[in-house]
Structures are given as C-alpha cells and as structure tokens.
Amino acid sequence: MRLVGDPRVFEIASQIPGLNGVELQIVSGKHNLWSRQTLTRYKNEAHRWGLRIPSLAGPFPAGASIRSLDAADHLKKAIECAAFLGASVLLVPFFRDNCPDMSKPEEYSPVVGMLRAIAPRAADQGLTLGLENSLSPAGNAQLCDFVAHPGVRVYFDLDNGEFYGHHGQIVPGIRLLGKDRICQVHVKNEDRLIQEDGRIPWRKALAELAAIGYDSWYVLESRHTSTRQCIDSTTKNMEFIRQVLQP
C-alpha cells in the first residue's frame, strides 16, 4: 500500500470494503517493528480501525538472510513481534543466492536445521513460519518435508514462482503442495487487475486453491500508483476473488 513504516495504513485500508487485515513489514520502514513503542502504535491503530494483522514480513535486516549465522536470532525477534500483534504467520523470505540448492545437502541442511530449531518457538506463540522463496513447488515440498514440523509451511506466491522460471509448474504445484503445506497465499498481477492477463491464470489458480480446501488469507500484493488507485483496484480485485471462490 506504499505506506511501509506508517501506521496510517490501517486508516486507508479501512476505506476498502470487505478488507479484513493488513500484512506488515518488520524492518523496511523508517520506524521498524523492533521498537515496542512502534509495535504498540500499530496494534492500537489496527484495533481502532477494526482490522487484523494476519502476518508479518521482512524479518531480516539489510545484509542478513536465512543463510546468515545470526538468522535464528532475527527470527526469534520477529516471532516476538508477530506474537505481540496477534499475527498467525511470519513470512520468511529467501530468493536467488539466498535460496539453497535442494540437490545439495551441504546447502539445504543448515537451513533445515535452523528451521527445525526455531519452529517450536514459533508454534508455542501460535505462529507458522511461512517460507517464500524462489524454489519450485517440488523444491518447497521437499524443504518442508525435510523440516518435518507443522510450524514450517509454504507462503505461496504464485506470481513469484513464474517470475523465477518455474513455468508450467505453479498452478499444478497447488495440488502438489496441498493444504497441509500451504499456510498463506500472495495474490498479485504486477500493476494489472487480478482478472487481467498476466503470468498466472488467477481464475484457474483460485479454483485450484479452493479445490484443495485452502481456507486461510489471500494477501494482495499488487503495485499501486496512488492511494486512490490502491483503494479502487483492491476493491475490484477482492470482488473478483470472491466471485471465483463463492460463485
């Protein structure tokens, strides 16, 4: 919503009919969420405007990643923030060079071990670690199965999957991953409406998500040029999603 680090995001979000919540970034804003004062302000603003905070993203500061030696420490801090705000998912990102090669145990084993160690802490707070990365659906399934903890699942960004080259695998990947591995979904179509042509055939993808019984959040992540355009396009996108899911 082009308001990273600005609690006014909830006031603007409240103008979108039927919008239920806002995903927040932890470290991207001028006032990041490591501060308890900032966290409290966000929590109060969400309550004031009747909105939920389903998930937090951006747990790694500049220069850090899931493969950093201090990755676990950053995730522990992020888990505390998410629990304070009542979120249910912590998005854990790793793309390109930060993404382990799932054919090389020496690359994925440290990530698996770290996630196994952190998962119980997240689960104790009612949180799922949602992995968003540049792996294929099969690679994500493999990684989740190696970790083997219900607190580690896939935050499925279908458009990213196509962007990172897994052509033809993404929509079929919904059934491959299944409801048990997908904790949350990003819906986006760059600067176009969801119903317009793009990398993902969203009508088919949404139908597939419904078919596996996915019933959690759909988090819109489209590009916007202004607050007014954000409100208008998000309203249209939500109408389309509901039309597909509830014909």
Q: How far apart are the first and last CA of the chain?
A: 28
Confidence of residue 58 (pLDDT cuts 50, 70, 90): very high
Query: How many angstroms from the chain centroid is the CA of residue 112?
Result: 19
pTM score: 0.96
Q: pLDDT (tens digit, 9 = 90+) per residue, 84-138?
A: 999 999 999 999 999 999 999 999 999 999 999 999 999 999 999 999 999 999 9
The structural domain count of the chain equals 1
Please state the rounded mean pLDDT for residues 40-51: 96
228-246: per-residue pLDDT in tens? 999 999 999 999 999 999 9
Asked if the structure places residue 209 within a domain, the reply is no
66 within a domain of the structure (yes/no): yes
pLDDT at 29 over 70: no
Evaluate whether 53 touches 21 at the Cβ level (below 8 Å).
Answer: yes
Residue 211 — φ and ψ, nearest 5°?
Answer: -65, -30
Sign of the Cα pseudo-torsion (122, 125, 128, 133, in order):
negative
- Confirm whether 88 is domain-assigned: yes
Average pLDDT across the chain, whole number = 95
Domain around 103? 9-176
Q: Residue 3 corresponds to which amino acid?
A: L
| % of residues, the chain, pLDDT over 90 | 88
Strands 128-133 and 24-25: unpaired
3-state class of 190 per DSSP?
A: coil
Q: Does the residue 93 lie in any domain? A: yes
What does the pLDDT average to over 206-218? 97
What percentage of the chain has pLDDT greater than the value 70?
98
**224 within domain boundaries:** no
Answer whether residue 60 shows pLDDT above 90: yes
Q: Residue 104's domain is classified under what CATH number? A: 3.20.20.150
Residue 14 placed within a domain: yes
Establish if 126 belongs to a structural domain: yes
Q: What's the average model confidence in pLDDT over 209-232?
A: 94
Domain contains 68: yes
Would you place residue 28 in the very low, low, confident or very high pLDDT band (cuts 50, 70, 90)?
A: confident
